[in-house]
Amino acid sequence: MTRALLIVDVQNDFTEGGALGVRGGAAVAEGVTRLLQDDPDRYTVVAASRDWHHGDDDNGGHFATGAEPDYVQTWPVHCVGGTTGAEYHPALDASLIDLHVKKGQGVPAYSAFEGTIDGGSGAGDGDGTVVGLAEALAARDVDQLDVVGIATDYCVRASALDALRAGLRVRILTSLVAGVAAESSNAALAELAESGAVLV
């Protein structure tokens, strides 16, 4: 059995002071780094996703343009690729990450499994093939996935559900997630547990 860690969207724009910052985001960044530093052999693979949106279009209707965002389907501009807001939070030690996933490149995307592995992270065989997270994990014989990150009620939820659909045994480390709102975050965790994830 091979266990991996998926760190979902621990980015400046999703932590305190960012365009869509959630309370507790910086603490998640610090906690994930501590987890990996305290037990460096815990995971065979560490993957991390980032929203990496276009800055010159509405990303398939994801960015609200010409109207106020509804915070359900449309959002303020956030995590534009190449900007500080899209970078990992500084408390997250990026040197501990093996696979870097970029998602939402021109389209709405909530799950890390909708993204592609950044070519510089050793995902494929160097031939330029686009590789998704499910394929990259399967190539490394991963069958168990711990999920942490932001936001519990959106991208953590979507990523964990897709991991379950991919046949992985999923655990949510509940002390290392942060959500937009308590009610929707609790509902997301309940849904994940009902779907087969283990809450740790």
Which active-site residues does the annotation give? 9, 103, 155
CA nearest to 177, candidates 198, 147, 148: 148
Distance, in Å, from the CA atom of 151 to the CA atom of 21, rounded to the nearest integer, reads: 10
Distance, in Å, from the CA atom of 53 to the CA atom of 60, rounded to the nearest integer, reads: 10
Distance, in Å, from the CA atom of 132 to the CA atom of 125, rounded to the nearest integer, reads: 13
115: number of Cβ within 10 Å: 22
The three-class DSSP label of residue 29 is helix
* β-bridge partners, 170: 145
